[in-house]
Amino acid sequence: MSAPLITPRFLLVCAITFITFFAAFQLFPTVPLRLLDMGASIAESGRFMTAFTAGSATGALFTGPLGDRIGQRRMVVACAAGFGLFLGLYGVLQVRWAFYALAFPHGVVWSGLLTGTMATLGHVLPPDRRADGMSLYGLASPGGVIFGPVVGLALHQRWGFPPVALVLAGLFVALAFLALGLPKDEGHGGARRPLELPGGEMAVPCLVLFATALGYGALGTYTAQEAIRQGFPPLFGRVPTEAAFLSCMALGMVLMRIFMSRRGFGKRPTRMLPGMVLAAAVGLALLAALPGGAARHALSALLYGGGYSMVHTLVNAHVLDITPPERRGAAFGATLFSFDSGIGIGSLLIGAIIGQGCRWLGPSGYRLGWAAAACFAFAVWPLSHRLVRQTEA
């Protein structure tokens, strides 16, 4: 008989992840708006996420192995408190260069929070139900993404950025206290090198996540900007639609995970990866090609979110299967490095395309960026087939 999947520790990890993404996705769309208010150009406003993800990607190579040594609970507690400190600083900054200067170390702290949480998850999931567990756990982050941008943008419009940043700082300090309830983990392998490069078996999973992130990188920054510049009308005359893409993307993630929890993954869940990659790519193509505004964002985001979320679930379940427990922090550090490197590079490239496109075409220039994102996403498809062949070898 299989061990139970839903346990108090599993629910605690899910709660921590939900709060993390609920708070972070209030920050990510509002910082670029704050930078625009301080005089940044459209292209420059995306550089915060470039610096942030560069810090996260670089930091993951260190915070992952460090969590294996000192214990994942210590890593999560320390990084949640550190994240709150950076948010408090953002609330009082008056010059935009300081945002870029702090974004890199802030990203390092973010990497420790994510790698620590993911490595802890590996300890609380039963080995024979990892894909199912990863799918259920995956409801936590899109749940936060559904509500975070709506709340953050509404509060930003009502009170401005500084109060939002200070409230989020307090929320992350509370999260640090909540993380004290995670299982104790004293770490492993104290004599290991500070920097651990992944083994050859991690190359293809890391490439899949890197290529996936190239198309994803600019969505958090530029979908809300497009909605604001094009003047998307509020839903029912009241509900703002600036965050329509991000919220519907998260809704698509949730709906896909509910569907998969009923359908099941079978004995070889990785075989589903190419189909999920294709769904995400088609979603971005629709964002570039469909007419309209808020409805275009919503429809394309539902399809993109459903496919995109399962890419992460299937790749992470595969990583858990091939990685021993004492090296899971390092393994997820490698995947986070790959993914955040893709986000940073994709945000920079697509931001430049959008900036140039808006100079040529006005608000329609955003579509050039979405077309580039779709091309990046379609490039993942042959990589996903290679991972399937590697799994079945």
pLDDT tens for the chain, 393 residues: list them.
Answer: 456 677 788 888 888 888 888 888 888 888 888 888 888 887 777 788 778 878 888 888 888 888 877 888 888 999 999 999 999 999 888 888 888 899 999 999 998 998 888 888 877 777 666 667 777 787 787 778 778 887 888 888 888 888 888 988 998 898 899 888 887 765 444 444 444 555 677 888 888 999 888 888 788 778 888 887 777 766 545 555 667 788 888 888 888 888 887 776 767 778 889 999 999 999 999 999 998 777 888 899 999 999 998 898 888 888 877 777 677 777 888 888 888 788 878 888 888 898 888 888 877 788 899 999 999 999 899 988 888 887 766
What is the distance between the alpha carbons of residues 101 and 234, in angstroms, rounded to a whole number?
Answer: 35
- Kindly give the residue spans of alpha helices, DSSP state H, lying in the chain: 8-37, 42-45, 47-70, 72-90, 96-124, 130-137, 140-159, 161-178, 203-216, 219-230, 244-263, 273-289, 294-322, 328-361, 366-378, 380-392
User: What confidence score (pLDDT) does residue 278 get?
Assistant: 94
In the prediction, which pLDDT does 189 show?
47
Strand partners, 239: 235
What is the CATH T-level fold of the domain 8-181+196-392, as seen in this structure? Growth Hormone; Chain: A; (1.20.1250)
pTM of the entire predicted model: 0.71
- Interhelix angle 96-124/72-90, rounded to 10 degrees, is 160
Check residue 287 and give its pLDDT: 92
- The residues spanned by each domain of the chain are 8-181+196-392
- What's the confidence (pLDDT) of residue 280? 93
Contacts (Cβ under 8 Å, ≥6 apart) of 7: 124
